Amino acid sequence: MDFETLQAFAGRHPLLSLALLGLTAAILYNEFAALFRGFKGLRPAELTALMNRDNALVVDLRPIADYQKGHIPGSKNVQVSQFDPENKQLAAARSLPVVVVCKAGQSSTAAAKRLKKAGFERVYVLEGGIGAWHQADLPLAKGKS
């Protein structure tokens, strides 16, 4: 396919061409934003490796009832409304990798930004939240941790 063929297609299908251009711009924006946000996203298998290798602290931001129904073994539950990077328990973990987990990845992104702003260097977010962990068929602990 050459440039003239693409130009002819764009002339015949202007809406499709604009849609392609818009989607391309959105994907590029998303990728660049991820590079500069200051924390990294992890897939479930990467989180498992980080927990085993570097003793990562996993902070689960879901409501206590959801946490007790099933959470990542070894994770600590902190309510979003009570999340404070300056908390004594979190401050003690400044040298460890800290992974923030929520239901789908939205709340954890905001918490990760707060951790980075507070000086935590190794901050991660579980991409897809606890749902991704469950879909990866990894174990969930029940009750309080």
Residue 22 is predicted with a pLDDT of 92
* Distance, C-alpha 127 to centroid of its chain: 4
Residue 80 is predicted with a pLDDT of 82
Dmax (CA) of the chain: 64
Residue 34 is predicted with a pLDDT of 62
CA dist 144 and 90 (Å) reads: 18
Residue 145 is predicted with a pLDDT of 61
Collapse the DSSP code of 4 into the 3-class scheme (helix H, G, I; strand E, B; otherwise coil) and give the result: helix
Token code pair at residue 89: 């328990």
pTM tops 0.85, yes or no: no
CA dist 36 and 79 (Å) reads: 27
> Concatenated DSSP letters for 43-104?
-HHHHHHHHHHH--EEEE-S-HHHHHH-B-TT-EE--GGG--TTSHHHHTTTTS-EEEE-SS
Residue 83 is predicted with a pLDDT of 85
Active site (catalytic) residues: 102
Residue 98 is predicted with a pLDDT of 94
CA dist 15 and 112 (Å) reads: 38
pLDDT tens digit at each of 145 positions of the chain: 788 998 898 899 999 999 999 999 888 887 776 666 778 899 999 999 999 999 999 999 999 999 999 999 999 998 888 888 887 777 778 888 999 999 987 789 889 999 988 888 899 999 999 999 999 999 999 987 6
Query: For domain 39-135, which CATH number applies: 3.40.190.10, 3.40.50.300, 3.10.350.10, 3.40.250.10?
Result: 3.40.250.10
Residue 143 is predicted with a pLDDT of 82
Backbone dihedral region of 7: left (phi > 0), alpha (psi from -120 to 50 degrees) or beta?
A: alpha
Collapse the DSSP code of 125 into the 3-class scheme (helix H, G, I; strand E, B; otherwise coil) and give the result: strand
